[in-house]
Each structure stands twice: as structure tokens, then as C-alpha cells.
Amino acid sequence: MSLTGGLVMNGIAEQFRQRIDGQPLDRASEILAQVASDMGWDLAAFMGDTTQRRLPRDQAGDYIARRMGWPAEYLAEWSRRNMAGHCPVGRRCGRVAWPFRWESVPTARCWRDLRLVDDQREALAFYRECAEGAVTVPVHRPGGKTGYVSWFSRSRRRLRSLSEECHDSIHLLSHLFMHHFDQVNDWTGSPVSARELTRRELECLTWAARGKTEEEIGLIIGRSPATARFHLRNAMAKLDASNRTHAVARACSRGLVVVD
């Protein structure tokens, strides 16, 4: 990179950092999308952690990606079909440390070594409704957490040229954005608020945090153990928790559940 090119890139990065500084995640995401558009990209997207299976939402429960230009119907269908759980982009991020270009075609060269299964092929094909591919920047952080920012193009030819023109810029901007993400989020993934958990789910989580079994919770709330289990499993899904203990820990860390 030339000295002049480095100064220009650093200037763009500094302006971006100043624009997102102090902003909530939804507003910072809008700024990221605008910067991507100014650079010639059609769309941008991010995930705070490759283990996360739910699209990031704002405090009102709306998909943040909608603010970034993604169609609401597309996002709803993506979530309904659990595409985040099948998408091979996050898997690729766990293997590389630098930006990589990929296409929304399962037979593309970039996917050959992963031996994609049918669900992964379906996820890639689903991207084609909005873009032909992207350059994804993995961002590895302390503690083993890996997130990424993807920069999308609707043109395969444009994707190739942008990946060369913007390689260093998007690498730096992605790391700045994920650093900001970590500052405004106290856990990996989108914030879950009390508004997203139902009253009954919060009630069952609270009793679970106090050490009650599903049978005991059922008696307390006047329902069957199966009903208590149903509400706890819903809470686990919303908190993206692997088990009941994990859900309780996440709910407590966010102040959704308080144990006396």
C-alpha cells in the first residue's frame, strides 16, 4: 500500500470510528451500511459471534439488518428456516483470519474444501435473492469469540473488483465495528429485553434461578410440569442458551431475572 493510500484509508477509518462512537448498535449498524454503500457495496451484514443462531435485533425486537437495507420478508424467512444455523460463512470464519471472498453458488471454488451438506447449500442459495456474494471479514477477539462483517455485491464482477479495491479498508472498518459491538453488548449476540420474554417465561426462569425443578415450578404457577418445561424451553431459545442453567445465567447477567 502506498503512503497516500494508507493515509486515505486511515482517514476513512477515523471518520467511521468518530461517527459510531457512543451510538447504540442499531444506529452504528445504519452508519456501517451507509459507509458500505458509499464504497460501492450493495449491502452489509454482521454477526457478533459465529455460535449465535439468531439475527441481531434492537431493543424493540426489530431486526437490525432491516435498518441496513435488508428486506423484512427476507429476514423473517431467514429466521424461520434457521438459515443462520446452516450458513457456512461462520464456519469458514473459524478457519481463517483474513477477509475472504465467497459466492452464493454452492459449487464455487471457495466452498470446495468444506464439503457442504444440503442445508448449507440451501443457505447459500438463499443469499442469491439479495446478492451474488460477499467479502467476509472474520474478527477474532479475546476469549475465543469470533464475529464477522460481510460486504455484499449483487454483481459477481463487481464483487471481484471491490474485494481488491477495498480489501484493507473493509478489514479495518470491520474490526472497528466489532470493537464497538463489544462495547455496547454485554454478551455475544443481539440484546434480549424483558419485552421479548413473556411474563410466564420470566416467571419460570426466576423460579429456575431459585433452584426449583420443573415439577415444582408447575405447582407454583398452577400448571403441569410439561407447561413449565415449555416456557423454559422458549426462554432458552430466545436467549440462545444451550440448557436451563445457561438460560438462567444469561437472564441474570442482563438483569431480566433477579434472585433474592
* Contact yes or no for 251/203 (Cβ under 8 A): no
One-character DSSP codes across 70-110: --HHHHHHHHHTTGGGT-HHHHHHTT-SS-EEEES-TTSGG
Handedness of CA 235, 255, 200, 190 (dihedral sign): negative
Residue 252 has pLDDT above 60, yes or no: yes
Q: Average pLDDT of the chain?
A: 86
For residue 136, what is the enclosing H or E element? strand 133-140
Q: Is the pTM of this model over 0.85?
A: no
Residue 1 has pLDDT above 50, yes or no: no
pLDDT per residue as tens digits for the range 102-160? 999 999 988 988 889 999 999 999 999 999 999 999 999 877 789 999 999 999 999 99
Closest by alpha carbon to 247, among 192, 199, 195?
Answer: 192
**Structural domains present in the chain:** 3-184 (3.30.450.80), 199-253 (1.10.10.10)
pLDDT per residue as tens digits for the range 150-190? 999 999 999 999 999 999 899 999 999 999 998 886 443 44
Residue 33 has pLDDT above 50, yes or no: yes
* Contact yes or no for 183/24 (Cβ under 8 A): no
Helices (H), 94-213: 118-127, 156-165, 167-184, 199-209
